[in-house]
Amino acid sequence: MIAYELISKNIAPLHKNDTGEQALIMMSIYHVRHLPVVENEQFLGLISEDEIMAQNLDDTIETYELSNKQFYAKDRDHLFDIIGKIAKHKLTVIPVIDDEGFFLGIINQEDLISHYANSFSFTEPGSILVLETKRINYSLAEISRIIESEKGSILTSFLTTNRDSDQVTITLKIAKQNINAIIASLERFSYVIKNTFVEEEFVDTLKERYDSLMSFLNV
């Protein structure tokens, strides 16, 4: 999934002759804290609610200093790159531009995270398995072989690392609900099982983590 395919049809950009008050009203309507400023189809920059509140609300946006000109996604950027930019800069929207700097549309944070949550086999029946091993020993091919030997298969995998530790955490979505045999086999190969979830438990946990992520991105 690329940026161009994720553009929201429900959010419009700001223009230079909009006032700060008008910008805040639009942000309130869209439930966002950032909006791009566009003029003659050219992306001029991204403005935040905090920046507007620091100005005279009767002034037009063309009088503001648009400092966030580098916060955008290119139309061919991958979903993971976009999520990374939104998380890094704590954005509620990210504008999409082409190679010539022409504005193509806006990706809304909530739509993006919802799309992410509904993708990557999260909705497929199965189980979630969280395991840990030393970084030097990590091999997804080996883990997959062990799981397949117990009549399971990996639908999705996520790797979490910590620069201060030699351990890595692997989160797996497995296309099997009874994974006791898989757990036993992984433990025989010295993998540490950190947590497991059956399908119903995972739905609740995913919702909690989604809410936590949304809260983090809205800090």
Q: What tens digit of pLDDT does each residue of 148-192 get?
A: 999 999 988 888 888 888 999 999 989 888 899 999 999 999 999
Whether 108 and 156 share a structural domain: no
Give the total number of structural domains in the chain.
Answer: 2
Q: Is the pLDDT of residue 13 over 90?
A: yes
**CATH code for the domain of 195:** 3.30.70.260
Residues 134 and 73 in one domain: no
| 87 domain residue, yes or no | yes
Instruction: Clarify whether residues 111 and 207 are in a common domain.
Output: no
Backbone phi, then psi, for 171, in 5-degree steps? -105, 125
Length of the chain: 219
Do 112 and 35 lie in one domain? The reply is yes
Domain residues for the domain of 159 are 127-217
* pLDDT score for 179: 93
With respect to residue 122, please indicate whether it lies within any of the assigned structural domains: no
Q: What is the mean pLDDT of residues 110-127?
A: 71
Yes or no: say if 121 and 156 are a contact pair by the CB < 8 Å rule.
yes
Q: Using the predicted structure, report yes or no on whether residue 28 has a pLDDT greater than 90.
A: yes
pTM (2 d.p.): 0.64
Half-sphere exposure of 68 (CA within 13 A, CB side): 23
The whole-number pLDDT of residue 49 equals: 94
The DSSP code for 13 is P
d(CA 206, CA 143): 23
User: Burial code of 87-121, b = ≥16 C-beta within 10 A, e = fewer?
Assistant: eeeebbbbbbbeeeeebbbbbbbbbbbebbeeeee
Do the domain assignments include residue 150? yes
CA distance 140 to 137: 10
Strand-pair category, 93-97 with 73-74: parallel
Q: What percent of the chain has pLDDT over 70?
A: 86
Q: Please report whether residue 61 resides in a domain.
A: yes
Structural contact between residues 170 and 158, judged by C-beta atoms closer than 8 angstroms: yes
